Amino acid sequence: MLALCVLAVVALVIWAKSGVMHAEAEAWESVLTDPRITVEEHANAVVLRPAEKTATSVGLVFYPGAKVDAEAYARKLSGIVADASATVVIVKPWLRLAIIDPRGPSTFTDYSPETQTWMVGGHSMGGVRACSAADDADALVLFGSYCAADLSGDQLPVLSLSGSEDGLSTPQKVADAREKLPASATMVEIPGASHSSFGDYGAQKVDGSPRIDDEQMNSTVTTELLEFAERVRSE
């Protein structure tokens, strides 16, 4: 039994290290050189803050999709940092698999202790992990994802962004899992967006073909996050 457990762990590690989806250099560089944002890289997270040294009133702890670099989400999430003075902490999960990482939001909110309102979110498998951590946050944000846990009885504000061309978290899968979210959840299907449209890491197997360009996708995600963050902050 011990030998089987060891083999299973070794197999998991080998699988996790194969097919890693790295952040696109241009997208990452655009965040690093944005004068409105400061970037901190830590062993367990990437932290995005407003360049102005002011306390932020809202923050987001974000779990990446399986095998995707944390940096691949920086550009998509940079808009709420620059325009809403939010702090964003993008988790670097164990083995790049958020679903097996037991560290909850409190591990990462320590990077901005003055921030009082915290959202938790994630993309794909990272969204599933965010759902399981939702009890420790003030709101939930899903990118191309859906919950395995039943949150339908909660009063938690939820924003679910999905894509019409998503080949993994398909529109049908998102619809089928809708009943696990509160009735008040905001559901937004972005026309032309695929699964990989929610990050900057290139094409992904089994995914659909996006019909939305990066600039439009970035703008749409930022607009939806800004409106949602403002609602969460005011409640």
Longest CA span, the chain: 55
**Verdict on whether the full-model pTM lies above 0.85:** yes
Alpha helices in the chain (DSSP H): 2-17, 25-32, 74-84, 105-109, 125-132, 171-176, 214-234
Cβ proximity of 79 and 110 under 8 Å: no
β pairing state of 87-91 and 45-50: antiparallel
Across the chain, what does the average pLDDT equal?
92
Per-residue pLDDT of 8-20, as tens digits, reads 444 445 445 557 8
Helices 214-234, 74-84: axis angle to 10 degrees equals 50
Domains of the chain: 50-234 (3.40.50.1820)
Q: For the segment 152-182, what is each residue's pLDDT rounded down to a tens digit?
A: 999 999 999 999 999 999 999 999 999 999 9
Phi-psi region of 202 (alpha: psi -120 to 50; beta: other; left: phi over 0): left
Torsion of CA 106, 108, 109, 111, to 10 degrees: 140
The number of angstroms, rounded, from the C-alpha of 125 to the middle of its chain's C-alpha atoms is: 9
Residue 228 is which amino acid?
A: F
* pLDDT tens-digit series, residues 109-141: 999 999 999 999 999 999 999 999 999 999 999
Phi-psi category of residue 110: left, alpha or beta, with phi > 0 → left and psi -120 to 50 → alpha: alpha
- CB 128 within 8 Å of CB 101: no
Q: How far, in Å, CA of 106 to CA of 11, rounded?
A: 30
